[in-house]
A and B are shown apart, each in its own frame.
Chain A
Amino acid sequence: MDWAALSELWIDTLRILDGSFRLATPLILCAMAGLVSERSGVIDIGLEGKMLAAAFAAAAVASLSGSPWAGLVAALGVSAALALVHGFACITHRGEQIISGVAINILASGGTVVAGIALFRQGGQSPPLMADERFRPIALPGAEALSGIPVIGPFYAELVSGHTLPVYLALIAVPLVAWMLARTTFGLRLRATGEMPLAVDSAGVSVVLIRYRAVLIAGLLCGLAGVFLSTAHGAGFVREMSAGKGYIALAAMIFGKWRPWPVLGACLLFGFLETAAARLQGVQLPLIGEAPVELILMLPYVATVVLLAGFFGRAIPPKALGVPYRKER
């Protein structure tokens, strides 16, 4: 194999990884959100709904105001508000957490379309966003200059540079969450709340307050995922545009056993498999010829089942997950 073919292959690989990062971004943000919430003991099945509502808020406000930053603020606000509703139902009133989460998903699915029709009269879509109403890809300094250097140049130009703001924020969110959980007092208390809230309570720390803060963080992270969908990677809101990503994030979170770095790995794996699947469609494979589309589209899920069943041990959730805390009187 000559040099030109090798460098071509390298660039192809980088592009697939590049796509993996983009597809993994909403998963990473939602999975981190779920992780923070669930490590404190609150099941968060409403990741999907919060992301969808945030996507709508971001696109609607960006379209009306012309500024993606205003959209970002609105998205974070809406998603945090939904998170607090979840908290109010599950923490304050000790409601069933799954039901509250499902309710949020249904509310977001219907509410965004109703609000969209009322605001824009385009069947629940927002108007397509123009270039300056979106977060554009950020070219990191030196990407152009370095691109001539073999191996490293394309690596920097193709993979590291040229993503939108939420992609970088997602990648920063992982070490931040990991550090917060492992190294801060708040993180320690949060983990303890998820395992044994009684101990936290007897140490004089409010379980309710810790859990509220956890769901709020989850809300903000889901909000960012929504921003990514509608105003960074996409250009406008489309009904149901979250397309089940919140549930895949939930799976990735369990897959990564509620630990930040393994969860990141799981999200990237999902992203990679989906990107690879996109490129495998219609490609002639050795021995079997052109693989049917259904088979290729199935690959990420088959791989997940195989990996889950075969290679990873049991995933043990936080002990107090899903159990509302009732203070002894």
Chain B
Amino acid sequence: MRVISLLAGVALGVVATAASAADFKPAVVFDMGGKFDKSFNEGVWNGVKKFMDESGVEVMEFEVTNETQREQAMRRMVSRGATIVLGVGFAQADAIDKVAAEHPDIQFAIIDVSWLDRPNLRQYAFKEHEGSYLVGVAAANKSETGKVGFVGGMDIPLIRKFACGYVQGAKETADGTEVLQNMTGTTPTAWNDPTKGAELAQSQIDRGADVIYHAAGGTGLGVIRATADADKLAIGVDSNQNGIAPGHVLTSMVKRVDVAAYETFKDAMDGNFTSGVKILGLAENGVDWAVDENNAPLLTDDLKAAVEAAREGIIAGTIKVHNYEDTGSCPY
């Protein structure tokens, strides 16, 4: 009897190890907005799709449609046998922290989070300030009035980080450039209030701004609308928004979340998964400015040269872009 159970135990153990080696089951939990949101989630989806096309591995997915589903969705992925679960956006931080603690043998990764500490969790953050610096250079270069604008969504340190990099880029390009700044609100509704976004943009245009950068999610669509109606220029954020109002969007500060998503699954499949925080900046192609056929006519050679020079300066380290989150303040 004893021998049999011992044998059974050994056999089970063998089966289990074999399974974990061959069984690579990636999963992704998209956040509110869904995977075709033309923004953050869609960026992740593009990375996931690239991974699936290249590796032939099917990635399990779930689209969260309300706050309470985040944790449930992650648990569900684990119970369906996922070996790595990718979360999207800072809103999922608490959920993934909890689930990762409960399942130390499963790998987790999350994008846009840098403050958690789990041995089985990889976190991706972006140097948004570097990308914002680039579009600040573009804005100041393009502005005729010497005044440019910024409209943020919810007033949180992350958005201040966008603002600070932008201001620095603008001021170091054309000394004396004035940057008008507005935050939409202090609650999450500030991400989805295009009416107010348009009004804030209008107020900046009234005060002389002719290029306005938004970091405000859905609210930013109102900013782009108002600037386009007033025949001024907007700057998009997160994904390439140049096509929303062709000819009226100077460029977009893109966050390459697709790179993060692709890298996560690729590393996990090759056995190279590491925990800790990965910070992607200009040098890692994590942030960039968008150039396509929609904004090509707006970009002069002088502007392109200025932005490229700034990019090289940042990568080489000759230009230091201030990170708001380091000090909690913006010196510009």
Contacts and interface: CB of A to CB of B under 8 A. Distances in A.
Given A234-B225, A235-B221, A282-B181, A122 B38 contact: yes
Nearest to A23: B199
A235 B199 contact: no
Interface stretch (B96-104, B183-191, B270-278): B183-191
Contacts of B181: 281-282
A236 B38 contact: no
A239 interface: yes
Interface in A262-308: 274-275, 278-279, 281-282, 293-294, 297
B189 A233 contact: no
Given A19-B202, A234-B198, A297-B183, A121 B189 contact: no
A241 B193 contact: yes
A117 interface: yes
Interface stretch (B29-37, B76-84, B259-267): B29-37
A12 B203 CA distance: 10
Contacts of B183: 281, 293, 297
Contacts of B34: 117, 123-124
Nearest to B181: A282
Nearest to A26: B195
Given A23-B195, A235-B225, A238-B221, A123 B203 contact: no
A229 B194 CA distance: 8
Given A19-B199, A236-B221, A275-B199, A281 B182 contact: yes
B244 A128 contact: yes
B203 A279 contact: yes
B199 A234 contact: no
Contact of B193 (A22, A117, A243): A243
A175 interface: no
B38 A282 contact: no
Interface string B283-314: 00000000000000000000000000000000
A259 interface: no
A233 B37 contact: no
Contacts of B200: 278
Interface in B36-65: 36-39, 41-42, 65
A270 B224 CA distance: 24
Nearest to B182: A281
A15 interface: yes
Contact of A125 (B37, B199, B219): B37
Contact of A234 (B33, B38, B155, B195): B195
B279 interface: no
A120 B220 CA distance: 19
A44 interface: no
Given A19-B199, A19-B203, A275-B199, A294 B194 contact: no
A241 B193 CA distance: 5
A138 to B, nearest CB: 13
Contact of B36 (A26, A123, A243): A123
B155 A123 contact: no
Interface string A101-123: 00000000000010001000111
Given A236-B221, A240-B192, A278 B36 contact: no
B218 A125 contact: yes
B245 interface: yes
Contacts of A240: 189, 192
A282 B155 CA distance: 13
Interface in B71-116: none
Contacts of A278: 182, 196, 199-200, 203
Contacts of B165: none
B195 A294 contact: no
Most chain B CB within a 10 A radius of its CB, from A229, A243, A274:
A243
B182 to A, nearest CB: 5
Contacts of B182: 278, 281-282
Contacts of A241: 192-195, 218
Contact of B155 (A23, A245, A293): A293
Contacts of B189: 240, 243-244
B206 interface: yes
Contacts of B41: 123
B180 A121 contact: no
Interface in A214-248: 229, 233-236, 238-241, 243-245
Contacts of B35: 123
Contacts of B203: 15, 19, 275, 278-279
A233 B197 CA distance: 11
B169 interface: no
Nearest to B34: A123
Contacts of B195: 23, 26, 229, 233-234, 241, 243, 245
A137 B225 CA distance: 13
Contacts of A125: 37-38, 218, 221
A243 B183 CA distance: 15
A235 B185 CA distance: 21
B222 interface: yes
Contacts of B207: 279
A117 B35 CA distance: 10
Given A15-B206, A113-B65, A234-B221, A239 B199 contact: no
Given A137-B229, A235-B225, 5 more contacts: A125-B37, A234-B194, A235-B222, A240-B189, A278-B196
Interface of A: 12, 15, 19, 22-23, 26, 113, 117, 121-125, 128, 137, 229, 233-236, 238-241, 243-245, 274-275, 278-279, 281-282, 293-294, 297
12 contacts: A23-B195, A26-B195, A122-B37, A123-B35, A125-B221, A229-B195, A233-B222, A234-B225, A235-B221, A238-B221, A239-B218, A243-B196
